[in-house]
Amino acid sequence: MVFADMASDPNYAALARGGVGRSWGFRSSAGIPIAIKDKPVGVIYVYGRSVREFTSQDIELLSTIGGQIGFAVENARLFQELSKKAEELAHSNAELQHFLYVGSHDLQEPLRMVASYVQLLARRYKGKLDADADEFIAFAVDGATRMKALINALLAYSRVETKGKEFESTDCEAILDSTLSTLQAAIEESQAVVSRDPLPTVMADPTQLDQLFQNLIGNGIKFRGVEPPRIHVSSERNGKEWIFSVRDHGIGIDPQYADRIFVMFQRLHTKGEYPGTGIGLAVCKKIVERHGGRIWVESQPGQGAIFYFTVPQVKPKREEERVWA
């Protein structure tokens, strides 16, 4: 609604005359709707104390301002909704982490009892019953052992968040020395050669960084070809982050599975070919993400694999601490 002279319209003449004390005295006005997705939600008014014609450029400018106001209001509404969703998601994720930790922790004791009695049966009655009984007992022992490994793996996964330590200045050279000491038996058995370039000092959880190196180097040893494994650890600075790489010369990975291998329980090989729970790389991903980084792999079948992960040079914002007994 546009008026060059409001006094000419009986409905608006009072504004032109002014009110008590004649404080108004408006003569011209323009009202442009504020719309969100073509739906009017308000009006922006412009008044003048003199008679004037509003040009098409004036109307276009006011329409643009009205559109921007509508856009800002919609963005504010969407931001409020997203903030609420983020809070709900964070709460849901915290409950899931709690359930995962408590569930895996509380399952340990009954499983320990089942495994102990099944193993006792195997020792006491093996060879004293028929062949079928021996086979059934062996299946039960194997099942209990694998279940124990899975529960321990789930517990390790949940502890990335629930038991993570404060970040501190961490010498990656010292961490790698500790990792190689832990893997010494596997390195000697496989005749693996692990080399390195100079590694930096970063802000990290030392225990989790050690676990990350153990998983990646351990995979390089496990998924080897016919030749003894050769593994190389290096790093380079890239802007505001360090990019670490762990290169092996093993069996390699089909690129179509490059994302799948970081998902819990996603295995590319049978347990008979390569033992494990299928959760190690999921733990690696969770550790890296807790540190504010990302992890990925580049590989081809039969040509080895290079696992990359990043660690920011600055300490990421620390999430709200959750400690569960």
C-alpha dihedral (33, 39, 42, 46), degrees to nearest 10:
-10
Asked whether 40 and 70 are in contact (CB, 8 A), the reply is no
* Digit-coded pLDDT (tens) for 116-128: 777 777 777 777 7
What backbone phi and psi angles, to 5 degrees, belong to 228? -55, 140
Helix ranges (DSSP H) in the chain: 13-17, 56-125, 131-162, 172-182, 184-190, 206-222, 280-290
Output the pLDDT for position 320: 43
DSSP at 245: E
* Digit-coded pLDDT (tens) for 258-313: 888 888 766 565 555 555 566 788 889 999 999 999 999 998 888 889 999 999 98
DSSP at 263: S
* Per-residue CA distances from 226 to 118, 159, 190, 249, 255 (Å): 37, 36, 10, 10, 22
Output the pLDDT for position 204: 93
Least confident of 83-92, 161-170, 208-217: 83-92
C-alpha 36: how far from chain center: 34
CATH topology of domain 166-312: Heat Shock Protein 90 (3.30.565)
C-alpha dihedral (112, 115, 121, 124), degrees to nearest 10:
-70
* Tokens matching residue 282: 């999921």
DSSP at 127: T
Residue 22, pLDDT > 50, answer: no
* Digit-coded pLDDT (tens) for 218-254: 999 988 878 899 999 999 999 889 999 999 988 888 8
Beta-carbon contacts of residue 212 (< 8 Å; ≥ 6 apart): 284, 287, 288, 309
CATH topology of domain 2-76: Beta-Lactamase (3.30.450)
The mean pLDDT value for 109-116 works out to 72
CA dist 99 and 117 (Å) reads: 28
Residue 324, pLDDT > 50, answer: no
Burial tier of 248 (Cβ tally within 10 Å: 0-12, 13-18, 19+): buried
